[in-house]
Amino acid sequence: MSPALQGLTTIAVGVGGCVAYFYFSNVILDRVIYPPRGPNAGRNINRAGQIRPWLFLLPALVALGLYLAYPVFETLRLSLTERVPVLGQPGKFRYVWVGLDNYRQMTSEAKFWEAMRNNMMWLFVVPAAATAFGLLAAQLTDRIRWGTIAKSLIFMPMAISFVGAAVIFKLVYEMRGADQEQIGVLNAIWLQFDGGFGSVLVLKIIPVIILLAFGGIVSWVGWLVLRPLLAARRARGIWGYVLRPAVAIFAVWMLWLSLQSVVGLWRFELAYGTPQAWISLPFWNNFFLMVVLIWIQTGFAMVILSAAIRGIPEDTIEAAIVDGANPFQIFFQIKVPQIAGTIVVVWTTITITVLKVFDIVFAMTNGQWQTQVLSNYMYEKLFVTADWGVGSASAMVIMILVSPILVWNVINARKEMR
């Protein structure tokens, strides 16, 4: 049978099977198990009504159980066992219980901690940047005539696969010898800098201003989060006493990092005139990789946030204008708070994507030059070195990191839908 015919048959059998399942299970429930007649007709109708939703949910529940719930437990089991080949029988394995040995081994590897650190950087930079750019694009494209075209262009990267995007950006970061013509856009731009005032302005002063602004914003946010505690208002349970100081400490740490970076950047001698191998520049190459995901996710953030911005009642904006608010106050004090729920949903959705990021790193560096991330680490352990124990352990780590964000995301998304 030709593959096309096979495909069609599969579709017919699959769709037909679904329809048949829903139809006949319903018929059996209504006609055979709880027929709406006889002395208990009313009770039967009620019972059939209670069972029906489960009947319809059953295929989905089975599929989710088989492909989501079971693998979780199987991975947990694998992460606690070691796969030992059976002697004399190639391809046969025994699974030996080893407790937390796999986790111990994993945490003793420098590459794992590198992946953790990089993942954390991705986690903070990409969702923040993509959401911020998306919000900016949504707000600006709403107000111009060719906004729709701009929106389509910004949204387009969403249609490109991560690997495809990685290939595109690999070309952007491409390096050729100093005597050759640069085909990478970034190196072509880089060679325009000659160490003069313009270079200092663009490469030192502006980044320092951005870093200082970032430091200022995190300290401000930290202060806002901490302030209710200092004002000794009524206690607010766990959120008040644990999370608020934690966020504040984190803000201080980020401030410290940004100040450190300012000093580092200022003292750093830039190699003007020499083409750079961007994706092998330690530390900074992480950001070059992040750019790819930001480029893709900005479109997503923009589309969702643009719809949210349109949903803001026009009256509240006009009222703010009459009340004397300037455009910035209207944006930050009237519009953003009204779409805060959507911003959180977008942010957490991108965060989940980021925690799972694999393709970009795999295609661009495969974790070399200190760009390893957890998913790629897991892939390498599971499928390259065939270390099922450590691979599964790292998969569990990813799951544990994603779960709370996922729960929060679902809660917020449901709140938005109401």
Partner 1 sequence: MATLDLKTISKSFGEAKVLHDIDLAIRDKEFVVFVGPSGCGKSTLLRIIAGLEEATKGQIVIDGMDVSNAHPVERGISMVFQSYALYPHLSVYENIAFPLRVARLEKDDLDRRVRRAAEILQLTDKLMLRPGQLSGGQRQRVAIGRSIVREPKIFLFDEPLSNLDAALRGDMRVELSQLHKNLDATMVYVTHDQVEAMTMADRIVVLNGGRVEQFGSPMELYHHPNNKFVAGFIGQPNMNFVPAKVKAISAKGLTVVLDAGPTMVLPVETEGVAVGDAVEVGIRPEDVAAGDTLDVEIRVLERLGGIAIAYGKLACGTNFCASLDGDTAVAEGTTIKLAVAPADAHVFDAAGRVLRRRAAPALVA
Kindly list the residues in this chain that would bind partner 1 in the complex (CB under 8 A).
313, 315-316, 318-326, 329, 333-334, 337-338, 340
Nearer to partner 1, 109 or 416 (CB): 416
Using alpha carbons, select from 159, 120, 394, 204 the residue that is nearest to residue 299. Answer: 159
Residue 74 or 323 with smaller CB distance to partner 1: 323
Cβ neighbors of 154 (< 8 A, separation 6 or more) are 137, 141, 298, 299, 302
Query: 4 vs 322, which CB is nearer to partner 1?
Result: 322
C-alpha Rg value of the chain to the nearest Å: 27
Q: Which is nearer to partner 1, 50 or 333 (CB)?
A: 333
In the complex, minimum distance from the CB of residue 317 to partner 1, in angstroms, rounded to a whole number: 9
- How many beta carbons lie within 10 A of that of residue 72, not counting itself? 12
Angle at 278 between CA 272 and CA 284, to 5 degrees: 95
Contacts of 344 (CB under 8 A, 6+ apart): 408, 412
Residue 326 CB, shortest distance to partner 1, in Å, is 8
Q: Strands (DSSP E) along 89-237, which ranges?
A: 93-97
Show the tokens assigned to 377. 């680490």
| Residue closer to partner 1, measured from CB, 17 or 337 | 337
Could you tell me the smallest distance in angstroms from the CB atom of residue 347 to partner 1?
17
Contact between residue 299 and residue 156 where contact means Cβ atoms under 8 Å apart: yes
> H or E element: which one contains 42?
helix 41-64
CB of 316 to partner 1, least distance (A): 5
Nearer of residues 179 and 315 to partner 1, judged by Cβ: 315
Q: Residues 133, 138, 142, 146: is their CA dihedral positive or negative?
A: positive
- In the complex with partner 1, the residue whose CB is nearer, 160 or 312, is 312
CB-based contact 93:313 (threshold 8 Å): no
Comparison of 181 and 315: residue with beta carbon closer to partner 1: 315
Following CA atoms 69, 75, 81, 85 in sequence, which dihedral angle do they give, to the nearest 10 degrees?
110
Give the Cα-Cα-Cα angle 73, 69, 410 (nearest 5 degrees): 125
Task: For partner 1, give the closer residue by CB, 298 or 412.
Answer: 412
- Other Cβ atoms less than 10 A from the Cβ of 399: the count is 14
Q: Least separation, in Å, of the C-beta of 381 and partner 1?
A: 46
Return the C-alpha torsion angle 196, 202, 204, 208, nearest 10.
160
If you ran DSSP here, which 8-state letter would residue 31 be given?
I
Query: Are the C-beta atoms of residues 345 and 413 closer than 8 Å to each other?
Result: yes
Task: Give the residue with the Cβ less far from partner 1, 16 or 311.
Answer: 311
